[in-house]
């Protein structure tokens, strides 16, 4: 079933990417803002999500939906679709080629399928959970894998920043504490793609507070299938903190993240 859900998600994502590319050629304008005046939404965000829901609903009319730009919808099948119609909207507005359609499918609360498609480049990341519980993850149809072990000071870390100024100040303080302990920091602007970069061996770790389920659900499954471990806990700012790294280096990286102040005191570390 999970492979079938992956294929449905991939077809919907490809259709949404075609729409996004068409709109990009026409020129992008901001429709409104959300949490702050720098947290922007375009008409294409809404139209992309509407199209994705319509295409999935045509095949699975009784499933539930959770999306960034649309209302939550209940279902009766135990399947819920988690949609980010454009993850990296600011990049989309500026024409930076790092924004994606992200679609995940849960069955009874467990993510079993996910796709992340870079709308600017067409690169496709897919994952589905096999019957044995393992996860198969691919980039453009070929298996992906995390980087080999490296000392903490040689690890390249991806992070992101909140649209809320107070949250960004907390993130900056934590980053100042973490940066001297690692190789360097990168920030791309799309949580979904950043987790896929980790899966593809283009970085050694990822940490960010303030992400939502639709930001990371699909990318986290891709990363898991590539050999990463993902932890979700409460961050110092009281929001969701996602920590991801190859299984072989996760514990050491998590300890560095906690020591740098990213996590709320006494927070647990449930895995996805």
Regarding whether 190 and 99 lie in a shared domain, the answer is no
- Choosing from 115, 143, 171, the residue where a domain stops is 143
- Choosing from 93, 123, 143, the residue where a domain stops is 143
Regarding whether 202 and 246 lie in a shared domain, the answer is yes
User: What whole-number percentage of the chain has pLDDT above 70?
Assistant: 93
Regarding whether 37 and 133 lie in a shared domain, the answer is yes
Check which CATH number belongs to the domain holding 195 and give it. Answer: 3.40.190.80
Binned at pLDDT 50, 70 and 90, residue 39 comes out as very low
Tell which residue, 10, 49, 8, has the closest CA to residue 139. Answer: 10
DSSP β-bridge partners for residue 186: 158
Contact 70, 49 (CB under 8 A): yes
Regarding whether 84 and 163 lie in a shared domain, the answer is no
Regarding whether 60 and 25 lie in a shared domain, the answer is yes
Regarding whether 167 and 135 lie in a shared domain, the answer is no
Regarding whether 131 and 15 lie in a shared domain, the answer is yes
Q: Give 84-101 pLDDT, tens digit per residue.
A: 999 999 999 999 999 999
Regarding whether 241 and 196 lie in a shared domain, the answer is yes
3-state secondary structure of 177: helix
Range of the domain at 57: 2-143
Task: Evaluate if residue 260 carries a pLDDT over 70.
Answer: yes
The number of folded domains in the chain is: 2
Check which CATH number belongs to the domain holding 20 and give it. Answer: 3.30.540.10
269 C-beta neighbours (distance < 10 Å), count: 15
Taking each helix axis from N to C end, the angle separating 165-178 and 250-259, rounded to the nearest 10 degrees, works out to 120
Q: Give 119-129 pLDDT, tens digit per residue.
A: 999 999 999 99
Regarding whether 132 and 38 lie in a shared domain, the answer is yes
Burial of 176 (0-12, 13-18, 19+ CB in 10 A): exposed
Tell which residue, 16, 44, 223, has the closest CA to residue 117. Answer: 16
Confirm whether 120 is domain-assigned: yes
Regarding whether 231 and 156 lie in a shared domain, the answer is yes
- Choosing from 90, 113, 143, the residue where a domain stops is 143
Global confidence as pTM: 0.93
Regarding whether 124 and 40 lie in a shared domain, the answer is yes
Regarding whether 83 and 164 lie in a shared domain, the answer is no
């Amino acid at each position: 079933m999970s492979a079938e859900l992956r294929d449905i998600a991939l077809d919907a994502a490809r259709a949404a990417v075609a729409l996004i590319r068409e709109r990009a050629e026409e020129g992008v304008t901001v429709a409104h803002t959300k949490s702050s005046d720098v947290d922007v939404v375009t008409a294409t965000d809404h139209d992309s999500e509407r199209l994705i829901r319509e295409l999935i609903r045509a095949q699975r009319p009784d499933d539930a939906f959770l999306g960034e730009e649309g209302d939550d919808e209940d279902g009766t099948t135990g399947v819920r679709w988690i949609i980010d119609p454009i993850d990296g909207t600011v990049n989309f507005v500026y024409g930076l080629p790092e924004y994606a359609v992200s679609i995940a499918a849960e069955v009874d609360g467990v993510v079993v399928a996910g796709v992340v498609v870079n709308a600017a480049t067409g690169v496709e990341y897919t994952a589905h959970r096999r019957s044995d519980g393992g996860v198969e993850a691919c980039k453009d149809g070929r298996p992906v894998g995390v980087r080999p072990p490296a000392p903490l000071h040689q690890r390249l870390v991806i992070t992101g920043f909140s649209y809320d100024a107070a949250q960004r100040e907390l993130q900056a303080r934590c980053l100042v504490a973490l940066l001297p302990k690692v190789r360097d920091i990168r920030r791309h602007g799309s949580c979904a793609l950043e987790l896929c970069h980790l899966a593809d061996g283009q970085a050694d770790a990822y940490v960010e507070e303030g992400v939502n389920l639709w930001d990371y659900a699909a990318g986290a499954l891709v990363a898991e299938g590539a050999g990463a471990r993902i932890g979700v806990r409460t961050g110092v700012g009281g929001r969701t903190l996602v920590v991801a790294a190859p299984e072989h280096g996760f514990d050491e990286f998590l300890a560095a993240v906690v020591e740098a102040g990213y996590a709320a005191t006494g927070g647990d570390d449930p895995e996805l």
